[in-house]
Each structure stands twice: as C-alpha cells, then as structure tokens.
Structure 1
Amino acid sequence: MKRILTAVSIMLFITAGMVSNATAAEALKIGIVDLFRALNESEAGKKAKTDLEILIKSKQTAIDEKGKKLETLKGELEKQTAIISAEARKVKEEELERLARDFQRVVADSQAEVKKKEGELTGGIVKNLRDVINKIAQEEGYSLILERAEGLVLYSAKPLDITDRVIKKHNEPKTGKK
C-alpha cells in the first residue's frame, strides 16, 4: 500500500510539473532578428556601405598605381638584364625590392584602414539596432529574441521574424536629437 501511495505521489508531482511547464511555454514569446539584413537594409547601414565602398575604391586606386609602377620596373629590369652592368642591375633590383615592400605595406595599411573604418561605421549602427530590438521586445512583451545569422536558429516560422519592424523603427527620424 505504501508503494502505491508513493507511486501515485510521484505521478502527481510529475504531472503537476508538466502542467506548469506547459503554462510557462505558452507565456514565452520568441522573436527572430536577422541583424545582418537589418544592418544592410537600414538607411544608416546603406549610407555606411556607400561610404565604405568609396574608401575601398580610393584605396584600390592607390594599390593599382603602386602595382603598375612595380610591374613596369620589373619589366624594365627583365628587358635590360643583358645590356646593363651588374652594378646598375643591382641598383634596379634594390629599387624593385623597395617598391615591392612599399606595395605590400600599402596593401596591408589599406586593408587595416578599411577594416577600422568598417568597425567605426557599423559599430554605432549595430548598437542602435540592438537598442531598437530591446525597445520592441519590451513594448511587445517578447521573452526572447534570437539572432538568425549566428547559426542559432535553424528554422523559424515567418511570423517570428521581426527584422522588418526593427528596420522600420530604426529608420524612423529620431526626435529630440541634434
């Protein structure tokens, strides 16, 4: 009899736990945001992308000029190898090495500058997007908002995706700010 009473008690305890978990799950409101898409489709994100493309083009122009100069000198050296003295060839080879190092430095510096500028341009936008997401979550009673691009979400129903609302709210003019 004691065993039956214990078994019934355990079953009641488990059943009560399941009921409370089901109630908690119903109260859970989940949203999904594609932060990458929000960044690329927001007005501020589009402007940042344009600014970054302008910087990349200017850096690419400088890199192309250095590359052409390097190739020209290399071609001259190859053509003149048989007709110039060893000393003149050595001077040209040293100049070629110097230009090659300068070219590599320009490429590395350009990449670093573009990466830094990208961080500067997008960092503030991402922070603002996160603020908008937090505001939407609080206003609409979300318990959890997941980021789609991080690989955490393998599938979600379309109604869970709030990315369009985040973009719209982020694009709204900010009142009270200069």
Structure 2
Amino acid sequence: MKPSPSRYGLAFLLAALAFVGQAQAQDFRVGFVNTDRIFREANSAKAAQAKLEQEFSRREKELNDLGASLKSASERFEREAPTLPETQRGQRQRQLIEQDREFQRKRREFQEDLNARKSEELQAVLDRANRVVRQVAEQEKYDLILQEAVYINPKHDITEKVIRALNAAR
C-alpha cells in the first residue's frame, strides 16, 4: 500500500517542529527561586520577624505567666484537695476550670492574631521579592522563573541573586 501524501506532510511538519523547538530550547532560560530561603535570609524577612517578636513579646510573656500561674494553682489544688471540705473543693475546681477556659481562649486569640500578622508581614516580603525576581528575570533575560519544583539543578537557582538585590534595595 502506498503512503498518502498527507502522511509525508505530517512527518515533515513534525520534523520541522522538532528542529524549531530544539533551536528555541537553546535560547530558553529557566531560573528557580527558593522562597523559604528568602524568608530565612533576606534582611526584609529578618526585619519582619523582629517586628513581630517585638509586637507580640509582651502578650506572649503575659500568656506564659498566666499559664504558669494556672499550673501552680492546679498543683496546689491537687495537694490540698484531699483535706478540703466538699463545697470548697467543688468551688476551687470550678474556678480552675474557668481559669483554664480563659487561658485557652487567650492563647487561641494570641495565636490567631500572631498568624494573621505573620501572614501580612510575609506577604509584604513576598511581594517585594517577586518584584525583585521580575527585575532579575528581565535584566538577565530569563524566560521562566519557578518558585516550586521537585528537583532543580543548582545552576538554575537564582535565589542568592534575588536575596542580594533585596538586601541592596532596602
């Protein structure tokens, strides 16, 4: 059976596309940025972390003090409970339960507030980092910059360039 002319055309088209794709692939530049490393090493990320620690340190200390006080009161109750009258034992137990509820509520609020602020600060760092990544990509003519990958050859990692540029921009 004789091959149809359309088969020759398709084979030729595929070969041409492969040749063009190979030529373009040589000019195609890919880079990778490790955002976790930026969050650990960039000055703006370190400043954001210090700001959060300063902002929340007083509340964290108050919460730790409240937890220690509650633990101490609970231990004292455990020691004294066998000798207390039934009514007094029940009353102190209810007080401890209420104090624990209050402590748990304050701890949840603290964690929620901290997480919200941390998210805000990290988003600001990420926004700045993304602007710097775009600048590096445009200056060095990258076609694609990835922020997540299963594997990346270290020669494509431009994280250090981005961190240096971020630190210089401040």
SS of 1:74's equivalent in the other structure is: helix
Cα separation, 2, equivalents of 1:99 and 1:61 = 17
Amino acid of the residue matched to residue 45 of structure 1? A
SS of 1:172's equivalent in the other structure is: helix
Find the counterpart in structure 2 of residue 61 from structure 1: 61
Cα separation, 2, equivalents of 1:172 and 1:75 = 54
Amino acid of the residue matched to residue 132 of structure 2? V
TM-score (norm 2): 0.87
Query: Is 1:3 equivalent to 2:8 in the alignment?
Result: no
**Shift of the alpha carbon at 1:14?**
1.8
SS of 1:76's equivalent in the other structure is: helix
**Shift of the alpha carbon at 1:52?**
2.9
Q: Deviations over 1:91-143 (max 9, x none)?
A: 21111011110111121112112112211222111101001111111222111
Verify the 8 A CA contact 1:33 1:163 in the aligned structure 2.
yes
Find the counterpart in structure 1 of residue 39 from structure 2: 39
Cα separation, 1, equivalents of 2:84 and 2:2 = 108
RMSD: 2.1
Cα separation, 2, equivalents of 1:101 and 1:7 = 77
Cα separation, 2, equivalents of 1:6 and 1:77 = 91
**Shift of the alpha carbon at 1:4?**
6.4
Cα separation, 2, equivalents of 1:59 and 1:157 = 44
Structure 2: give runs of 5+ residues left out of the alignment.
Answer: none
Verify the 8 A CA contact 1:132 1:169 in the aligned structure 2.
yes
Query: Is 1:101 equivalent to 2:101 in the alignment?
Result: yes
Find the counterpart in structure 2 of residue 160 from structure 1: 156
Cα separation, 2, equivalents of 1:155 and 1:83 = 65
Find the counterpart in structure 1 of residue 24 from structure 2: 24
SS of 1:156's equivalent in the other structure is: coil
* Number of matched pairs: 170
The structure-2 alpha-carbon separation of the partners of 1:82 and 1:15, relative to structure 1 and needing over 3 Å to count, comes to closer
**Shift of the alpha carbon at 1:2?**
5.4
**Shift of the alpha carbon at 1:83?**
2.6
Q: Deviations over 1:26-63 (max 9, x none)?
A: 22111111111122211111111223344565444223
Q: Which moved more, 1:106-115 or 1:165-174?
A: 165-174
